[in-house]
């Protein structure tokens, strides 16, 4: 693959010339090339011109192939505004433009002509013309050969969706480790943040490289290692070999808690793990995407817990990632970890979810427990070496593991990898541990786990066991313990039901418990219990108000508070109880804030929760005006926006006030926060404006649409919001006319009428999901959000 890109043609279009050299094992046969261009100027196949009109629906037929072939295409392409393809964004802080390539999942044909499927890997030689003041980065080392002209060194074989080019007036910091040149890059307006956070990110990068080299016994193969923080990025990050891209909100411009730095560190480790799982060895087709994501997730948390300062990273995994995965398991779209049918790329996109990430990582932890870490690591190394620069699939991975382990893994794979569903574990006072398997997805899963008991904060017993039957008697259970905790070490993939005595004791006992992993399991049991209608939301609120002010882990503090403020209170409580519940959340946050050490992580989390939940107009007015601000938040623009958005929801921020705060924060983050605040205003005119922007303004970027959708449903009376449930099913599918699938699916999730917890909403959405004009991705987003709304309806039916 020889690709030449001309990025110096203005803000709308760029030039793309591609020369592909390929062989054909059956001369005389035909194939097709993928190409989605604004216009095609010339095409030649083996020196013979081809009519550009031959390109139909993104495909260029190639007929009468020889044993060796060369196809050349010269075309004009369009920059995107939805985070896919070659995305171009203007930084409002200084008016500078930035470009980055995000070709996942099937956007490569919008940048260059190609054979767009993951098992057709090729080396890439890329050249780029750009404005003279720009910097160019990509998969190969970039060399400026003339003013505005850059060549990238030829790469090792890559799948199309890993190719990237980043260009613009990026600023950089550099380092080196173990012979690997390291670079971190960001927009010019983020130079201060880049330089402040660079040393910590370099440290985690180096620690992760050392950990993976020890674990895999295969050196990083892709030369330089650049990490580029880019604007308006759809995902958290993307594992482009040698040039990883991240959403630039991770360059925190205000106060950052340890948990936030840990999450960024974990993302750095996650994308680096992909250099081996995904990049060096790529799945043959999308139905084995777990060979990418499950491994990167598992390896990242293992790396951060063992090789960095974040030895407690599995706590965050339990309360954040596993809760995401359990929700995906409860949805009708649940699927196996491996081998989920993916007839096309868009079907595959829907399965990049909490199952492929969190469940897959948890299943790999179970595999390590099943065969031992030494055999697991030996199998991983054998798989990587036998498939390097090529592709693999489930059967080939299992073969290397079976050879290392010495016995068949067929039954284990069938239960854990090839069957959907999550078991429920419960421990009673007689010491009986039960495993309940979902009826829709029966499987005989063997769980390696531990159970523990606690009294007055102290552990009174802990027993490790393997549960491979529907129930078993656990030795050593002390029935008088205040808390009985199945899966106390959070070692297996299972939802937990607490016995009645333990649930009743939580308000008293949870604040006394020192074991952060066990607290994560208990908080998770409360949340999933509410979602499954086995725990009364009022009881959960009692646990929160009693225990949350004493929570010492900032990951648990922030994630649990988010679950209560964003879902449990507004969805699961009856409308008449929401205001009182939010007041209790605010009071818990105020209590915590007042006793926390100023500037500590607890104080920062509590201040943010308080700012998001309080109705204290005097406090909000003081904070938004810059008076009496919490320590470390005196000049924090992001905190100021939290305050202003709360004021907007309460009807306390008019256009003049929003514009004034916006004038003090002329960054991309400020612009987005301003949109969210405007959409959060409760008036009927304001809601009508926000919805028209979401549903009809084709100039809005992916991030702007997300901000508007997030703000829209955060306020307003049910009477004013109810008509927008019908507008949602009518308007959102039409966005597919101009919005890419990755961005659209996110908008369909955020714009879902989650506040309208009524059977009429269920009927509207179910009818929409049957329509032929609804894309598979939007149908999946609708279905997943609908399942959450139905959980709320079931809970209200039982407990209200």
What does the buried/exposed string (b/e) look like for 372-396 if buried means 16 or more CB atoms within 10 Å of the residue's CB? eeebbbbbbbbbbeebeeebbbbeb
Residues 6+ apart with CB under 8 A from 294: 337, 356, 357, 359, 360, 361, 363, 364
Is 467 found in the same domain as 361? no
SS3 of 72-121: the string is EEEEEEECECCCCEEEEEECCCCCCEEEEEECCCCCHHHCCCECCCCCCC
Is 467 found in the same domain as 395? no
* Residue carrying structure tokens 């940048």: 111
- Helix (H) / strand (E) element for 137: namely strand 135-138
The answer to whether the beta carbons of residues 215 and 301 sit under 8 Å apart is no
Q: What's the sign of the alpha-carbon dihedral 183, 187, 191, 192?
A: negative
The widest CA-to-CA distance across the chain, in whole angstroms, is 85
Count of other CB atoms within 10 angstroms of residue 265:
25
Which strand ranges, in their side-by-side order, compose the sheet holding 225-230?
171-177, 180-186, 225-230, 243-247, 237-238
Pairing mode, if any, of strands 125-129 and 149-152? antiparallel
* CATH number, residue 481: 2.60.40
Give the HSE-up count for residue 586: Cα atoms under 13 Å, Cβ half-sphere.
16
The two three-digit tokens of residue 287, written as one number: 């139905």
Is 412 found in the same domain as 434? no
Domain-embedded: residue 551: no
Is 449 found in the same domain as 401? no
Is 409 found in the same domain as 461? no
Domain-embedded: residue 716: yes
> What is the tally of structural domains in the chain?
4
Per-residue pLDDT at 341: 74
Cα separation, 678 vs 25, whole angstroms:
59
Q: What φ, ψ does residue 299 adopt, rounded to 5°? A: -65, -35
Is 472 found in the same domain as 341? no
Pairing mode, if any, of strands 423-427 and 494-497? parallel
Residues 6+ apart with CB under 8 A from 382: 400, 403, 404
- The last residue of one of the domains, among 492, 516, 535, is 492
* CATH number, residue 16: 2.60.40.1730
Is 468 found in the same domain as 332? no
Is 456 found in the same domain as 383? no
The two three-digit tokens of residue 659, written as one number: 């514009």
| Segments of the chain with pLDDT less than 70 | 345-347, 349-350
Per-residue pLDDT at 56: 97
Burial of 591 (0-12, 13-18, 19+ CB in 10 A): middle
The answer to whether the beta carbons of residues 167 and 7 sit under 8 Å apart is yes
Is 373 found in the same domain as 462? no
Active-site annotation, residues = 271
Give the residue numbers spanning the domain of 719: 682-800
Domain-embedded: residue 770: yes
* Residue carrying structure tokens 């067929």: 410
Domain-embedded: residue 554: no
Count of other CB atoms within 10 angstroms of residue 664:
10
- The last residue of one of the domains, among 120, 152, 169, is 169
Domain-embedded: residue 721: yes
Our CA angle for 264, 270, 274, nearest 5°, is 145
Is 451 found in the same domain as 408? no
- The last residue of one of the domains, among 361, 393, 416, is 416
Is 119 found in the same domain as 96? yes
Residues 6+ apart with CB under 8 A from 656: none
Domain-embedded: residue 703: yes
Domain-embedded: residue 534: no
The answer to whether the beta carbons of residues 219 and 381 sit under 8 Å apart is no
Per-residue pLDDT at 352: 78
Cα separation, 420 vs 443, whole angstroms:
8
Alpha helices by DSSP H, 681-740: 684-696, 702-712, 718-721, 723-731
Count of other CB atoms within 10 angstroms of residue 71:
20
The answer to whether the beta carbons of residues 113 and 32 sit under 8 Å apart is no
* Residue carrying structure tokens 């929409």: 768
Choose among 482, 463, 355: nearest CA to 419: 355
Domain-embedded: residue 653: no
Is 138 found in the same domain as 64? yes
Q: What φ, ψ does residue 39 adopt, rounded to 5°? A: -155, 150
Per-residue pLDDT at 350: 67
Q: What's the sign of the alpha-carbon dihedral 642, 268, 528, 786?
A: positive
């Amino acid at each position: 693959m020889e690709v030449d890109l001309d990025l110096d043609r203005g803000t709308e279009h760029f030039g793309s010339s591609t020369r592909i050299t390929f062989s054909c094992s059956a001369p005389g046969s035909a194939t097709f090339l993928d190409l989605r261009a604004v216009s095609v100027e010339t095409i030649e196949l083996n020196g013979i011109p081809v009519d550009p009109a031959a390109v139909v629906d993104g495909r260029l037929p190639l007929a009468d192939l020889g044993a060796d072939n060369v196809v050349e295409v010269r075309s004009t392409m369009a920059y995107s505004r939805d985070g896919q393809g070659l995305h171009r964004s203007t930084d409002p802080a200084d008016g500078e433009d930035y470009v980055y390539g995000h070709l996942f999942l099937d956007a490569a044909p919008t940048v260059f002509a190609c054979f767009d499927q993951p098992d057709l890997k090729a080396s890439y030689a890329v050249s780029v013309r750009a404005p003279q003041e720009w910097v160019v980065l990509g998969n190969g080392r970039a060399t400026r050969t003339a003013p505005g002209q850059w060549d990238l060194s030829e790469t090792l074989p890559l799948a199309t969706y890993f190719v990237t080019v980043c260009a613009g007036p990026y600023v950089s910091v550099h380092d080196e480790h173990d012979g690997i040149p390291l670079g971190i890059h960001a927009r010019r307006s983020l130079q201060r943040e880049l330089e402040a956070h660079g040393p910590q990110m370099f440290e985690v990068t180096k620690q992760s490289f050392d950990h993976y080299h020890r674990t895999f016994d295969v050196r990083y193969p892709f030369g330089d290692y650049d990490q580029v923080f880019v604007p308006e990025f759809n995902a958290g990050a993307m594992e482009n070999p040698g040039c990883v891209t991240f959403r630039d909100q991770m360059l925190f411009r205000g106060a950052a808690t340890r948990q936030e730095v840990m999450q960024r560190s974990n993302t750095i480790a996650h994308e680096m793990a992909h250099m081996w799982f995904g990049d060096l060895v790529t799945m043959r087709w999308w139905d084995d995407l777990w060979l990418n994501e499950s491994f990167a997730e598992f390896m990242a948390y293992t790396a951060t817990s063992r090789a960095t300062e974040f030895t407690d990273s599995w706590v965050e995994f339990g309360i954040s990632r596993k809760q995401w995965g359990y929700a995906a398991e409860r949805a009708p779209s649940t699927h196996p970890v491996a081998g989920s049918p993916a007839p096309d790329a868009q079907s595959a996109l829907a399965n990049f979810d909490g199952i492929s990430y969190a469940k897959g990582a948890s299943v790999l932890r179970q595999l390590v427990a099943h065969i031992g870490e030494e055999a697991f690591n030996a199998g991983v190394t054998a798989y990587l070496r036998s498939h390097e620069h090529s592709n693999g699939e489930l059967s080939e991975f299992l073969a290397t593991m079976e050879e290392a382990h010495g016995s068949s893994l067929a039954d284990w794979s069938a239960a854990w990898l090839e069957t959907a569903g999550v078991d429920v574990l419960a421990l009673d006072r007689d010491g009986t541990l039960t495993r309940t398997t979902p009826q829709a997805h029966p499987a005989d899963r063997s769980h390696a786990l531990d159970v523990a008991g606690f009294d007055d904060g102290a552990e009174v017993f802990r027993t490790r066991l393997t549960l491979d039957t529907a129930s078993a008697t656990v030795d050593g259970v002390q029935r008088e313990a205040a808390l009985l905790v199945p899966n106390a070490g959070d070692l297996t993939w299972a939802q937990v039901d607490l016995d009645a005595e333990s649930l009743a004791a939580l308000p008293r006992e949870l604040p006394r418990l020192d074991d952060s992993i066990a607290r994560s399991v208990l908080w998770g049991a409360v949340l999933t219990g509410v979602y499954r209608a086995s725990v009364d939301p009022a009881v959960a609120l009692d646990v929160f108000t009693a225990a949350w002010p004493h929570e010492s882990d900032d990951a648990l503090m922030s994630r649990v508070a988010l679950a209560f403020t964003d879902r449990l209170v507004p969805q699961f409580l009856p409308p008449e109880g929401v205001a009182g519940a939010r007041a209790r959340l605010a009071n818990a946050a105020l209590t915590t804030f007042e006793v926390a050490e100023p500037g500590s992580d607890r104080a920062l989390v509590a201040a943010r929760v308080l700012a998001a939940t309080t109705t204290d107009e005097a406090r909000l007015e003081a904070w938004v005006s810059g008076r009496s601000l919490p320590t470390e938040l005196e000049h924090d623009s992001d905190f100021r926006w939290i305050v202003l958005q709360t004021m907007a929801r309460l009807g306390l921020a008019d256009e003049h006030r929003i514009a004034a705060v916006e004038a003090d924060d002329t960054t991309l983050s400020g612009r987005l926060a301003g949109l969210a605040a405007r959409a959060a205003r409760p008036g009927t005119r304001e809601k009508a404006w926000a919805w028209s922007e979401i549903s009809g303004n084709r100039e809005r970027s992916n991030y702007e649409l997300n901000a508007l959708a997030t703000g829209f449903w955060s306020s307003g009376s049910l009477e004013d919001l109810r008509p927008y449930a019908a507008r949602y099913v009518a308007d959102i599918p039409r966005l597919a006319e101009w919005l890419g699938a990755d961005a659209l699916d996110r908008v369909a999730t955020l714009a879902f009428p989650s506040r309208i917890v009524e059977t009429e909403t269920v009927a509207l959405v179910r009818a929409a999901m049957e329509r032929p004009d609804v894309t598979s991705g939007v149908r999946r987003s609708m279905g997943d959000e609908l399942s959450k709304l139905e959980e709320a309806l079931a809970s209200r039916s039982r407990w209200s």
